[in-house]
Amino acid sequence: MFKYVVTGCLLAGYGFYHYMGFNKAKYFTEKSLPSQILIYKPNVGEYAMMTPTFDEIRQAFKDFKGNFVMTGIFLDNPETVKDHHQERALIGALVDPSQKHHVEEFLAKHPEYRVKDTKDMPAIASEEIPYRNPISFMWGVRKLYTKILKYGIAKKIFEGDDILGGVELYYPRGKGYTIEILVPYGKDAAELHKATAPVADFERYYE
């Protein structure tokens, strides 16, 4: 009887592992993150508690008339930051420059948002993983960043033991969505992230 219980638990665990998407994104590619318009709000706070922020921004972008991709740009490493309440992010959407008129219409209705033109940047990108629930999001995404770091060091793209930060893209898929993680690098990525800037200067810099 015990044997069947153990076997059942293992099978259930294996199924849960695949359902949550933890088996995904075993491979990474090097690609370009093209120049786009970033519409965003700066956010300072614990990454694990950002669901209400995303919900608020998702609601606001129902007023955007063109195409966009929801994004979160995370500037700090949760593994090394001293105070999780000071973790910095830019939350909003990326839009193709051809839709600038839609951006202007959106800002007229939502003047609390800011805009920044991003430059074309090389990046390491993960495969898309499905969003199932907050557990899959926090656990799976953290694992992916670790794997990207190892990939970048092995390819001699990253020289240190840390990365500038990550760009997460959220794609609608049926009733849910998938997540693609990109870690840009190079001088333009460093300018975007400004990961070493003190929190006190955060609001001032992103204007």
19-49: pLDDT as tens digits? 444 444 457 889 999 999 999 998 888 888 8
Q: Domain ranges for the chain, please list them.
A: 26-205
CB 69 within 8 A of CB 52: no
* 49 vs 61: CA distance, rounded Å: 20
pLDDT at residue 84 tops 90: no
Mean pLDDT of 97-109: 95
| Phi/psi at 175 (5° precision) | -90, -5
User: In sequence order, what are the beta bridge partners of 180?
Assistant: 169
Q: Sorting pLDDT into bands at 50, 70 and 90, what band is 78?
A: confident
* Superfamily holding 26-205: Regulatory factor, effector binding domain (3.20.80.10)
Q: Sorting pLDDT into bands at 50, 70 and 90, what band is 64?
A: very high
- Specify the pLDDT at position 26: 59
Beta carbons within 8 Å of 15's beta carbon, 6+ residues apart = none
The better pLDDT of the pair 201, 82 is held by 82
Q: Sorting pLDDT into bands at 50, 70 and 90, what band is 165?
A: confident
